[in-house]
Structure 1
Amino acid sequence: MKKVWYAIALLGLFLIISGCGKKAEPVAINEKTDTCAYCNMAIMDNQYATEVVLANNKTLKFDDLGCMYKWISENKDEKIQAKFVRDYNTKKWIEAEKATYVYGKSLKSPMSYNVVSFKNKNDAQSFAKKHNGTVLSYNDLDSHKWEQNKDMMKKMKGNM
């Protein structure tokens, strides 16, 4: 009987240890049901979607990078395991820390925070030059002023 309990304890320990090393991954966007965890707007499966994976493995989805950063600033006690953004060109998920960003007042994003992400820094620089934008690093995002472009929001609401 003692051997059975020993085996169960070892199996439990193995399961705990194997679960700890699992890397967070982004999840697919369901356009029919997914809404932004910050603004509650529908999330389209496009180059603007972002995700946060919490320490408890819960994934939060956002329609705009600005919404994700607004949520993070209002939920500082949450333990974040990973953040994911989409490459503007390919729409593929990338770790937020590995991306380069472009901010521009004339750029359009779902909630008018006007920041887009790129896997390749050269792509970001080229895009910024073409669209009169500013290149931002991942570290720059913490100090970026996350404000919506009010004029753009009015135009978008007028088209609804």
Structure 2
Amino acid sequence: MKSLSLYMSCLVLLFVVLLAGCQVKPQPIAYGEVNCAHCQMTVSDNRYGAEMINDKGKPFYFDSAECLALYLDQNPDQAVKAAYVLVTDFTKPGELMVARSASFIQSKELPSPMGMYLTAVADEATATKMQQQVGGRLLNWEQAMTAVKNNEKPE
């Protein structure tokens, strides 16, 4: 009887461990070690990295918000199924945030890795202050995606 109880306890523990390992959650970007899922460049600048986690928990890394936007535009099924769409807060290198809640500054004074000059900031007040200092325009995620799709760059 004790062996059956021990067996059941081990089985329950194994099930809990396996279930915990299958959680869909953001993963830290291994800067300098992973390639962009869109352009295949090494993701190296921790002020501009981005990430998409699909519905199965697989992470896709990007070297910039513009590569993420292009990937989602070219893979609409992935965009619909994505569990997370994240960009890096420029003011907190390496810290990911939900792209839809970010403010984007598009300014020649802030060159991003792929040349679209998109910089994500978590706090709208901080983004406004930065935009007043460097010029350019403020965008939300949908506007940033449209700008990337239309290849709109600041003058």
TM exceeds 0.5? yes
TM bucket (normalised to shorter chain) is 0.7 to 0.9
Deviations 1:66-123 (A, max 9, x none): 1111111111122211111111111111111221111123420111011111111111
Which residue matches 1:57?
Answer: 57
How far the C-alpha of 1:145 sits from its partner, in A, is: 3.9
TM-score norm. by structure 1 comes to: 0.74
Which residue matches 2:98?
Answer: 95
How far the C-alpha of 1:22 sits from its partner, in A, is: 4.4
For 1:41 and 1:148, how far apart are their aligned partners in 2?
22
Identity of aligned residues (%): 21
> Is 1:68 paired with 2:78?
no
Aligned structure 1 segments of 4 or more residues deviating by more than 6 angstroms: none
Aligned residues: 143
Mind listing any 5+ residue stretches in structure 1 that lack a counterpart? 1-6, 150-160
For 1:131 and 1:51, how far apart are their aligned partners in 2?
26
For 2:31 and 2:44, how far apart are their aligned partners in 1?
8
How far the C-alpha of 1:148 sits from its partner, in A, is: 7.4
Give the RMSD, CA atoms, in angstroms: 3.0
Mind listing any 5+ residue stretches in structure 2 that lack a counterpart? 1-7
For 2:120 and 2:75, how far apart are their aligned partners in 1?
23
Q: How does 1:1-160 map to 2 (within 5 A)?
A: 22=23, 24-31=25-32, 33-78=33-78, 79-91=81-93, 92-146=95-149, 147=151
Which residue matches 2:3?
Answer: none
